[in-house]
Structure 1
Amino acid sequence: MELSPAARRLLALMTDPAAEYPATWPGRAELGPHDLGALLPFAYRAPATPAGTSARFMVEDEARERQPAFTPESCAELFAALVDGLATRKWADLHLGAASLVRCPDGPPLAALAAPARTLVRFLLDTGRTDQPYALLAVAGLAGCDGRDDDGLGAEVTGTIEAGRGPIGADELRLLASWDAGHRALFLETLRNRSYGSPPPLPGVWERLADIPGYTAFARAALETAAARVAAIHAGEIPYRADRAFEASETEALGRAVRLALARDEEWLPGLLTPLLTGVAVAPGPARTLPSQALLYEIARAVEDFPTPEAVTALRAARGATRHAGVPRQLDRMLKRIDHALADRVEVAFRMPDLGFGPGGVLRVPAGEHTGVITIGDDVELTWQRGEKRFRSVPAAVRRDHPGEVKHLRQQVQQVRRQLTTLVRALEGGYPGETVHPYARWRAEIADHPITGAVAGRLIWEFEHSPGRWRSMMGAEPRDAAGEPVAAPPPDAPVRLWHPARAPLAEVTAWRDRVTGERIRQPFKQAFREVYLLTPAEEAARFHSARFAAHVVAYRTLYALFRQRGWTSSMLGPWDGGGEDEARRVLAGGRWRVSLLHSYLYGETEERAVTGRIRFHRKVSGEWCEAPLPEVPPLVFSEAMRDVDLFVALTSIATDPAWTGDDDGHRDYRHAASSAPLSPSAEVRRDALARLLPRTAIAGRCTLTDRHLVVRGDLRTYRIHLGSANVLMEPGDVYLCVVAAPAAGKGLFLPFEDDGRLALILSKAFLLAHDTDITDESILRQLKG
């Protein structure tokens, strides 16, 4: 196959020891999939010259990010390269060799690969290099493809790597050994721990694995065996040893079994998953350990890959059951990512049981002469009734005579809260993918559902009433932003969550007025949601945004927020490779990816970093390709920028309320950030304050300017920046270090869950409006100068 000009240049650099380091390099985008497949064998053999090594790294880096394609000739050449120099290297990347077998559209040359496969497997067995067991098994499957006997090589490989695998791992290994080399190579694509040089997993690999005879049956049998083992541990039939219920290979095999079942949405899985997860999460006795922390987290990672409501509910039940101090925190972080991922599986995301609740989200359970009533509204509330009399706490007679019903109802409350948390995060997480539902299904599964309806009724939806034209609505009996009834659309009309980025300004204003006026507390920020539009500077830059660059941030807090919001990032610090990284988040059902460059600041008294550029990639044929900003869908762009704005708002050192004005080398940055033009999040905050302040007792002392809330006290006048919440005192713009008491402004209605900044600004305003009542000496000293 003819190579591209860029590939020919790289080939020359990797094959000519005398090649000089070029002044310019070919663009990565100029390399096609077959170019990469043809170049990889030469990268494996490249001379250790500056030009050859750099060309090799470029090819290998591209192959790790993209999907190379192989011809039969380049596939054979790769295996020959793996053999060449084997005695010197003492190792070969069998994962890369096996990957070529399933990336060869014309079929790999099996007969030609048999001899090098025998050489590779024999050498690695003789030298004890069995650290790639499944890749060794895959390559061993080629040994007899030339018509010769494999001399027992396959059986030797199986016997060598079977030791210590545990019954479930051994069963999986024996099944794989019965497959041909191609199926074994496909199995490798499912592994989390593949070699550094491996390309990304093939798209649709789990569906293809399910088509191989025997594996789906193995997955179910393995999970049944695991559940039975855990039950036997809790029954005392198997001695309990903390974190030793399963061997490492068994944990990996069970993780694959769960992924396969979740990907296929197998109906038998929930019945197995719930007892298995709760069983591995808690010790059979009073100990705070658990039978298998590793399996618990492995299943959680599988659920993150293929979430279903039932699996999320099972994980939350395990989280509630465990007695281990650290497990709930880790599961909480994982569950936040899972809830976002659930939004992209539209076919299963809103499948929730009604748990016996009736219309309006009410469940009544008799307990003697009393009745326990669970009501779903802004929160899930359990009350008690006896005739017309209502009790907020459990009546003594019920507590004494019906402890089982009390326990059951409390568990129901927690289960409903878990389901609503999952639903809210899934709904909000679906914004970038612009998830839509047919009206009839939306009505049945969301709006009229006795549990989810309480959430859906406080959100704004819109339906397409003619091609390209949408009408917004809210409530069980839908009304528009003006409060007028909305006629039901046809059953097949598309319905989606309303977003202010798609609405005219007048409609956004009307919805904000209605939400505030009717005191509707939305499950997440929707009517007041920030909108981030592409700027002329970003259009000119084309491939990157510097909108949130050059902010000095508290690094550990930033890293924690990355994990909380579903971004992946390597930890930075004063070690090799710890100076810079791109945090990444995948959006819109895996179709888009955003990245934020950030760099570690050395020589600081505290751990800090500085933010850099933002880039977007789209997935094309399984590869991430950098996209020009104007081609990024508006909601993908806006929601990604919203995350980054949140990161800066919560971690910038300019917003540290404890800063006293001492110079730490960043005084200029703090001053500029504290008085900077408002970001979209701060603009929304200003809009909310304009609606909320007139309803407060301090309204006469407050004035909103373009960037500040000005509060008139009796001692001084104060300017609170709407972005940073920093306070400057007049006259002289003197910085005031003040940490407002949480009780200030307590009970004030807020129409959405905020990052805390709106509540902080209001609490400071209440405090400073009555500055003569302040008794804190540290604040009084500043006020008096």
Structure 2
Amino acid sequence: MRTIPDSYNEKISEMLTLPIAYRNSSYVWGNPIATQIVRLPAEEQANYLFAIFERGFELEAQDQRPMYLLGALVGEILKTQLPLSEEDFTNLLQAISNMKLEGFGYSLGNLLVDNQIGQFDLKPPLTPVWRQRIGELRQLLSPNYSPSYSGADWSVAPRMQKLAELLGGLEEGVGERGDDWVDAASTDLKAMNAEQRALWVELLSHARNSKDSKPKEKWLNRADELITPIGHDELLAHLQKWLPLFGKDDGWWFADREDSNDAPFKGLVWMASRIQDPAIIRALGAALRGSVKSRGRAGVRSQKVCNAILWVLSSRDEVEAVAAIAAAKRVVKHGAILKTIEKALTEIATRLQVAPDELEELSIPDFGLENGGWKRDFDGNNLEVSFSTGKAIWNWTSKDGKALKSAPASVKTAFGDELKELKTQASEVEKVLITIKDRLDLAVRDEKVWPLEAWQERYLLHSLASLVATRVIWEWSADGNNWSGFVPQLDSPTIPNGAQIRLWHPIFHSVEIVLQWRQRLEDNAIQQPWKQAHREIYRLTDAERTTETYSNRFAAHILKQHQFNALCTARGWKNQLRLMVDDSYKPATKYWPRYGMRVEFWIEGSGDNYGEDTNETGTYWRLVTDQVRFYPQDAPENHAHASGGGYAANYRNQPVTALRLEEIPPLIFSETMRDVDLFVGVSSIGNDPTWQDGGPQGHFRDYWERYGFGELEESAKSRADTLSRLIPRLKIRDKARIEGRFLHVKGQVRDYKIHLGSGNILMEPNDQYLCIVPKSGGDSELLLPFEGDRTLTLIISKAFLLAEDDKIKDQTILSQIRRE
């Protein structure tokens, strides 16, 4: 910011002491000092403008009118072209982008376009600095322009177009530059001769005409006519290059690109339906994942493109098509998109005459894996790619048999395209493995049973799925009553034909049996793909027996709403982001259809200060948790106001009494509470070291301290048990011990206590807080008994670091350790 004399700040302060009157519904014209300011010369107005931003808009008074007076005054000043340097413009744009007053950000952005950028005489191509500035300004306006958003401010459109032209404008026949797929297509078209380019420009022009939800027969017939002179092989080659780039732009996303760029891309997706080669599926899958990337208020990158891809993939019978849809389903966090994906999978299942829940199992691709990986020869240099750990491990051997850290330069030069394709395929394998792990993790609580033959085909003998399935405890039964457990990597039981297979769950077994399985897996260095043998068990507490119909076990926590919402989607719960509006919301809900039940987790928005407790769209940053209740599945749903006030049935319905907790099957109760523990354990602000000060005005300091160092929930107790078994195998075993809620670590300089729930650290002897962002490291041979517990990994990482605190070089950490 430019240096502003104190007299300007003093005048602003004086202005705010005057009564805020109205004239023609304007804050400015009802205040004599504000009126005087907007009639000053432009240079003087500019100084007042920066004085306002220097002082900020955060006032302590409950009356928010002074803040709106300042915002309105900024708007009036920006109606005049001000003498701004390039640095002034950058600072001004940043200040406006950070404004938390509803509606002011984009409206002031409009004024920057109308009255301020013209003085810089900008013309494309812009310098990198100006490209950054104009991109930020265009992004500021984007949330208020979208053809699919009914509340859009259509006056933004011409300004967006002006900024688009400054950023480079349209590439003839393709779209607007700056979008990766457009840039790639533009480069390819420029390399063509005039005749080829003309064919592609005509094809892209037809692709742009894609406004319908699905292509009509007439559209497809015309597409076939345009594809024929180009050739299906040529079309495939270019789509394989362009389609995966969708959503992988340079960090910018602009709503008005829906017409210029997304429309022709959608048409190209429709044209991909005319390609029979299965190779197109992988490109479509990558584009699908790009299309469902979250874009905040605008939803996802492009729901229209997503729908187009689903239309193409759902018409194909290859297992890779279903796998591509399933991979996208795993990353989707948008409720409406998730429903669309599930609908597409159901349609495929109906066409293939299989149950929807079996479709994904039947459609797991094998990617040509043999013995858990690939072997390739590159002119005598051998490559082995193994996926035994769930991640691609690349091992190179030279012609003379020497191990190499990476591919030889000669191989990279001669086989560059083949290596690139192999890396792309390896990434696909990793994504499918995650999907398989997630599916089985959810299936363990559904008590799903497989016929032996189906289980063998889909899991045990499947070259990809077996990498997950062989590390899992299964049970088999010949009569459906007596079950015997086994781990395929360790056991080869004789199972009779017609037997049934299911996943083992610890809740049905004694503590002794569970501990035996844990010990056996650890002794054989088998890392389970998720918590199974070490799975937390949640049983009714005396407090829950007293309340009878609800649990307060996870009440009164402060959660980060967006992280909580993403976890709900991942664990199969229905939830809606809360906004600070006059509206009601259903609780977060989980259905157990097999048992005819639903679960409600009561939550409400935290805070009442718009712009501080919400983001710019009015979405609450944080939630407060309340009760967990169980109801019959079809019972009327409860609702609560966004800001709280309690849940109740809709006024049209009679209130329904929740089910008694003692009536809930132990498996359902335990798995429900495990999900809720996960929601709290991952998304609580108590896990975030940056919240040590308690957040805005310190409101949450007590909660942060209570959660960060308080009593342990079941997930943390399980973590303590795991650590107690791991410590004797660690090189820091003589410096670490578990006592109560903490892992105690003896360093060379100080002693430390790491909380087993949050991972937060206290330094002894006076329990000073130590903030650490841990680096990866620790015992290279340490194998955790299961994947997925990030907090356990962080605790171990911190323990290794602190055990040798005399070797720490990070000054941020050292300054805390040395502080007495």
Does the C-alpha gap of structure 1 residues 561 and 445 become closer, same or farther in structure 2, counting only changes over 3 Å?
closer
Given candidates 489, 492, 496, the residue that maps to 2:495 is 489
In 2: Cα distance, 1:636 partner to 1:331 partner = 24
Task: Measure, in 2, the Cα distance between the counterparts of 1:424 and 1:229.
Answer: 44
CA distance in 2, matches of 1:358, 1:570: 40
In 2, the alpha carbon distance for the partners of 1:725 and 1:707 equals 10
**Range with greater deviation from structure 2 (697-706 or 540-549):** 540-549
Give 2:587's aligned residue.
582
Report the equivalent of 2:465: 452
Deviation at 1:537, TM superposition (A): 3.1
1:543 equivalent in structure 2: 549
Q: Would the aligned equivalents of 1:690 and 1:704 in 2 still touch at CA under 8 Å?
A: yes
> Which residue of structure 1 aligns with residue 769 of structure 2?
735
Partner of 1:360: 371
- Is 1:508–2:514 an aligned residue pair? yes
Letter in 1 for 2:528: Q
8 Å Cα contact 2:374-2:386 kept in structure 1: yes
Verify the 8 A CA contact 1:462 1:470 in the aligned structure 2: yes
Q: Please report how far the alpha carbon of residue 523 of structure 1 lies from its aligned counterpart in structure 2 after TM superposition.
A: 1.7
Q: 2:704 aligns with which of 670, 679, 682?
A: 670
SS at match of 2:737: strand
Match of 2:600 in 1: 595
Contact (CA 8 Å) 1:465, 1:471: kept in 2 or not? no
Which residue of 1 is the match for residue 673 of structure 2? 641
Aligned to 1:209: none
Q: CA deviation at 1:688?
A: 1.2
Equivalent residues of 1:432, 1:639 under 8 A apart: yes
Q: Hey, what's the Cα distance between the residues in 2 that align with 1:223 and 1:504?
A: 64
The residue that corresponds to 1:43 in the other structure is none
Contact 1:592/1:616 (<8 A) preserved: yes
Tell me if the contact between 1:562 and 1:568 (Cα under 8 Å) persists in the aligned partners: yes
The residue type paired with residue 683 of structure 2 is T
Aligned to 1:757: 791
* CA drift at 1:446: 0.8
Cα shift at 1:702: 1.4
Q: Distance in 2 between matches of 1:319 and 1:763?
A: 32
Helix, strand or coil: the match of 2:704? helix
Indicate whether 1:422 and 2:441 are aligned: no
For 1:542 and 1:308, how far apart are their aligned partners in 2? 51
Which of 515, 519, 539 aligns to 1:533? It is: 539
Distance between the aligned counterparts of 2:290 and 2:566, measured in 1?
27
- Match for residue 559 of structure 2? 553
Whole-angstrom distance in 2 between the partners of 1:226 and 1:355: 37
Give 3-state SS (helix, strand or coil) of 1:609's partner: strand
1:582, distance to aligned residue in structure 2 (A): 1.2
Q: 1:300 to 1:433 in 2, by over 3 A?
A: farther
Residue 693 to residue 585, structure 1, CA distance change in 2 (3 Å): same
Q: How does 1:614-629 map to 2 (within 5 A)?
A: 614-619=628-633, 627-629=659-661
Aligned mates of 2:311, 2:676 — CA distance in 1: 25
Cα distance between partner residues in 2 of 1:433 and 1:713:
46
Residue deviations 1:88-137, cap 9 Å, x none? Answer: xxxxxxxxxxxxxxxxxxxxxxxxxxxxxxxxxxxxxxxxxxx9xxxxxx
CA distance in 2, matches of 1:354, 1:654: 41
Residues 508-546 of structure 1: CA distance to partner in whole angstroms, max 9, x if unpaired?
112222332332222222222222223343344343222
Comparing 357-366 with 327-336, which one deviates more in the overlay? Answer: 327-336
Task: Name the structure 2 match of 1:571.
Answer: 577
The aligned counterpart of 1:347 is 358
The 3 A distance-change label for structure 1 pair 308 and 775 is: same
Q: How many Å separate the matches in 2 of 1:616 and 1:340?
A: 29
> Aligned in 2, Cα 1:651/1:707: closer, same or farther, shift over 3 Å?
same
SS at 1:658 equivalent: helix
Asked if 1:711 corresponds to 2:776, the answer is no
| 2:682 matched residue in structure 1 | 650
1:112-131 superposed matches below 5 A: none
What amino acid maps onto 2:525 in structure 1? R
Q: Aligned with 1:469: secondary structure?
A: coil
Say which SS state the counterpart of residue 734 (structure 2) adopts: helix
CA apart distance, 1:668: 3.5
Query: Hey, what's the Cα distance between the residues in 1 that align with 2:363 and 2:791?
Result: 34
Distance (whole Å) between structure 2 residues aligned to residue 514 and residue 535 of structure 1: 30
Please say if residues 432 and 588 of structure 1, whose CA atoms lie closer than 8 Å, have aligned partners that are also in contact. Answer: no
Name the amino acid aligned to 2:486. M
Q: 1:465 and 1:556, CA in 2 relative to 1: closer, same or farther beyond 3 A?
A: same
Contact kept? 1:280, 1:293, Cα under 8 Å: no
Partner of 1:613: 627
* Contact 1:720–1:727 (CA under 8 A) maintained in structure 2: yes
Counterpart of 2:3?
none
Kindly indicate whether the alpha-carbon contact (under 8 Å) linking 1:344 and 1:430 is maintained by their aligned counterparts in 2.
Answer: no
Matching residue's letter, 1:544? Y
| Contact 2:477–2:501 (8 Å) recurs in 1 | yes
Alignment CA distance shift 1:670-1:397 (3 Å) = closer
C-alpha separation in 2, matches of 1:270 and 1:531 = 45
Alpha carbons 2:374, 2:384 under 8 Å: kept:
yes
1:731 is matched by which residue type in structure 2? P
1:471 corresponds to: 484
Task: Assess, with a 3 A threshold, how the Cα gap between structure 1 residues 637 and 225 changes in structure 2: closer, same or farther.
Answer: farther
User: Partners in 2 of 1:672 and 1:167 — Cα distance?
Assistant: 55
Aligned to 2:456: 443
8 A contact 1:280–1:291 mirrored in 2: no
Q: Deviations over 1:12-45 (max 9, x none)?
A: xxxxxxxxxxxxxxxxxxxxxxxxxxxxxxxxxx
The secondary structure found in structure 2 opposite 1:442 is helix
Query: C-alpha separation between the residues in 2 aligned to 1:361 and 1:692?
Result: 28
State the alpha-carbon separation in 1 of the partners of residues 693 and 586 from structure 2: 31
Q: Which amino acid aligns with 1:676?
A: G
Please tell me whether residue 314 in structure 1 is matched to residue 324 in structure 2: yes
Q: Residue 461 of structure 1 is aligned with which of 459, 474, 479? A: 474
Residue 377 in structure 1 maps to residue 427 in structure 2? no
- Give, in whole Å, the separation in 2 of the partners of 1:282 and 1:620: 36
1:298-337 equivalences under 5 Å are: 310-315=320-325
Relative to structure 1, the CA distance from residue 514 to residue 247 in structure 2 (aligned partners, 3 Å threshold; closer, same or farther) is closer
Partner residue of 1:112?
A: none
The answer for the alignment partner of 1:724 in structure 2 is 758
Identity %: 31
Q: Relative to 1, partners in 2 of residues 1:390 and 1:242: Cα closer, same or farther, differing over 3 Å?
A: same
Shift of 1:406: 3.0
Root mean square deviation, CA, Å: 5.0
Which residue, out of 234, 242, 255, partners 2:261? 242
Displacement of 1:370: 4.3
Q: Indicate how the Cα distance of structure 1 residues 236 and 749 shifts in structure 2: closer, same or farther if over 3 A, else same.
A: closer
SS at match of 1:244: helix
SS at match of 2:550: coil
After superposition, the Cα gap between the structure-2 partners of 1:273 and 1:660, relative to the gap in structure 1 and judged at 3 Å, is: closer
CA contact (8 A) 2:686 2:704 kept: yes
Q: CA deviation at 1:354?
A: 5.8
Question: 1:432 Cα deviation (Å)?
Answer: 2.8
Unpaired runs of 5+ residues, structure 1, are: 1-130, 132-163, 172-220, 259-267, 284-289, 321-326, 480-485
Unaligned 5+ segments in structure 2 are 1-149, 151-208, 240-258, 292-299, 614-620, 639-655
Checking the alignment, whether the CA contact within 8 Å between 2:282 and 2:324 is kept in structure 1 is yes
Aligned residues: 537
CA deviation map 1:180-234 (0-9, x unaligned) = xxxxxxxxxxxxxxxxxxxxxxxxxxxxxxxxxxxxxxxxx89987996997899
Distance 1:317 1:587, change over 3 A: closer
TM-score under structure 1 length normalisation: 0.58
State the one-letter code of the partner of 2:603. H
Which range moves more in the overlay, 389-398 or 673-682? Answer: 389-398
TM normalised by structure 2 equals 0.55
